[in-house]
Structure 1
């Protein structure tokens, strides 16, 4: 499988600058925030979201250097993403993320909540200083969508009647909205046409959905070492994703197990077995591939460039995580 880090070669220097800037922006005010920032931004994350912003910024400005506003947009995107992870980990009581201790387990719930709040506040402040009302609206919508996604997930726990459509809505709010709206914002800052901006939004939305759908497959097929959390964590917590929803169509016996919240001995093990003995995982793979293909098609509006090729390769990388 191609390393995502090697894929980002066209913006490698941009991403290093982004990481250094983020540590300074977040950590300048207080030692504990600097420690949290170093923990968050020095953890070797993929930087997928800011990389997409930077790649699209360069792809929409061929032959020109990207502006400080493009760079700040990438930083804001990573701030919003990281803030949402910090808060998610507190809500989910997760001690690890990708095998690394979470902020609240390394410091405390209080520090984690305040660090997440501070990241959202910093993102909003820097967003206002981009002097683009359109971009402010786009990224403010993302923050609303992240909250909406968490609420939807909370309200639908252990709901075996959940539809694939509602599942995709929740996946959009929690994952794809940030990629979609920051992608459009990159086009806005480049002065791209409405047609191009629409296509960039479609790319981000489809890539984000494919990424989340693949994550939901890995929750059933990945090892705890790879996931950084126990396999089947989503199902155990009542977060029903596409593999389980498709499996329910084939195996109605799943319904009572879910509705009694796996309270009886062997309920959870039986549920996992029913998902694996269905077409749920195969159908979910097809769903991820469909969205990855839509992402590729959306890039037709861009001229040929190394950055465009990288954006196309990213869709293959997302699917290759299942290999």
Structure 2
């Protein structure tokens, strides 16, 4: 294991960026408000509960860590100096230019157009003049665009939770009813769409085309990953049939008018190729799905934080790799906890993956030793006794232990990425956070 090398070790990574984290919910509230009170209620519902807030924490700590890079080595883009404590940020003479001199709160279109049909009634907080929004004192030297980035990533993540809970028919999250249960499926889906719309406006106001491209791609990745999980199909001999919620559904055949491309992880039926090839393809499918669903947002937002800092390409690439490895580790641990944590501790129904027909790492490791599990995986554990058989196989084949080793491997890679960044308190906090992901219980 790679150990922190800084002179300080932090048991509470939040302490490094406590000012920004304590204002996170308030800042997001100013981004998501609408003129409709019910929409406000649904959109803010998940932000009221105590969540992990891992994603914004990573962005803020990474942004602070990048401050240690000398300003002359952060000239890939002109740095936005607006609202920045220059003494804390630049540690010397600040640059004379900023990115268009625009705040993340300033609109690019005329307010009368953004307000809609009645421009005298301001219902849209995103289109309010800048002075109407609260301005938080900057104490850490983190750029306003990086602070806004942390807020955006949590909005996008929360939108995905609202949608996931509808798709997965979930009934509890963070210790209380999910949005689809507390409100309705329609309201939860629409609120998720609304959050993505709000986040898209905020992304545009970062005024960096590269960042806009990365974030937009990460949103598309979330959907692609969800479709891979919906299909699930480490094994599927019939591409025209999907199994969801215990029901087999024939999907319309392609007409050929719109050319479509098959993904690269099409796995044959168990008897068509050798077992080892099928298992290897199944793990490739699983890891790619895991990247799209979880690691894409972490990796691309980490890359965005580095881009906005003005860092050079080697640092930007390393930050992306860190987010990718951390995201894969995080989701693999999540898949392991689904087997081991109680519903009360986990904050959502435990042992739900098998019931949903999902073949995650623990059962894939069991399948590697027991080829007969392939038939259960192919039918998504939808016959009586399938879930119990799979769960017992995971236990007997030490699927959880092997899954933990896989998670630790990605943890170690993430720690190696961090060692390429300047030594600092923020880096030590990131190292602690990275290590704690493997040992977490919820």
TM-score where L is the length of structure 2: 0.69
Cα distance in 1 for partners of 2:368, 2:64 equals: 45
Q: 1:199 is matched with which residue?
A: 318
Q: In structure 2, do the counterparts of structure 1 residues 114 and 73 end up closer, same or farther at CA, with 3 Å as the change threshold? A: same
TM-superposed deviation, 1:49: 0.3
Q: 1:88 is matched with which residue?
A: 164
Q: 2:48 is matched with which residue?
A: 42
TM-superposed deviation, 1:230: 3.5
**Quick check: 1:319 aligned with 2:435?**
no
TM-superposed deviation, 1:74: 0.8
**Quick check: 1:189 aligned with 2:308?**
yes
Q: 1:304 is matched with which residue?
A: 423
Q: 1:12 is matched with which residue?
A: 18
Q: Can you give the 5+ residue segments of structure 2 that lack an aligned partner in the other structure? A: 1-9, 69-87, 90-140, 236-269, 271-277
TM-superposed deviation, 1:300: 2.0
Cα distance in 2 for partners of 1:216, 1:122 equals: 30
Cα distance in 2 for partners of 1:185, 1:261 equals: 37
Q: Deviations over 1:184-242 (max 9, x none)?
A: 10001100110001110011000100000000111111112222343321112111111
Cα distance in 2 for partners of 1:117, 1:88 equals: 12
TM-superposed deviation, 1:169: 0.5
* 1:234-253 pair list within 5 angstroms: 234-253=353-372
The structure whose Rg is larger is: 2
Contact 1:177–1:205, Cα closer than 8 Å, also in 2:
yes
TM-superposed deviation, 1:158: 7.1
Q: Once superposed, what is the RMSD of the aligned Cα atoms?
A: 1.9
* 1:134-283 pair list within 5 angstroms: 134-157=210-233, 159=235, 161=278, 163-283=282-402
- Of 16, 21, 25, the residue aligned with 2:27 is 21
Cα distance in 2 for partners of 1:262, 1:302 equals: 45
Q: Deviations over 1:69-110 (max 9, x none)?
A: 111111111111111111111111111113221112111112
Q: In structure 2, do the counterparts of structure 1 residues 18 and 229 end up closer, same or farther at CA, with 3 Å as the change threshold? A: closer
Q: Can you give the 5+ residue segments of structure 1 that lack an aligned partner in the other structure? A: none
Contact 2:346–2:441, Cα closer than 8 Å, also in 1:
no
Cα distance in 2 for partners of 1:281, 1:306 equals: 33
TM-superposed deviation, 1:36: 2.1
TM-superposed deviation, 1:122: 0.9
TM-superposed deviation, 1:183: 0.4
Q: Deviations over 1:230-268 (max 9, x none)?
A: 332111211111111110011223223333444444332
TM-superposed deviation, 1:113: 1.0
Q: In structure 2, do the counterparts of structure 1 residues 47 and 263 end up closer, same or farther at CA, with 3 Å as the change threshold? A: closer
Name the SS of the counterpart of 1:8 in structure 2: helix
Moved more, 57-66 or 281-290: 57-66
Q: 2:189 is matched with which residue?
A: 113
Cα distance in 1 for partners of 2:200, 2:337 equals: 33
Contact 1:157–1:238, Cα closer than 8 Å, also in 2:
no
Contact 2:11–2:432, Cα closer than 8 Å, also in 1:
no
Q: Deviations over 1:96-149 (max 9, x none)?
A: 113221112111112111110011111111111111011111111101110110
TM-score where L is the length of structure 1: 0.94
Greater helix percent: which structure?
1
Q: In structure 2, do the counterparts of structure 1 residues 29 and 16 end up closer, same or farther at CA, with 3 Å as the change threshold? A: farther
Give the length in aligned residue pairs: 320
Contact 1:26–1:33, Cα closer than 8 Å, also in 2:
no
Q: In structure 2, do the counterparts of structure 1 residues 127 and 265 end up closer, same or farther at CA, with 3 Å as the change threshold? A: closer
Q: Deviations over 1:127-179 (max 9, x none)?
A: 11111011111111101110110111112257385511111100000000011
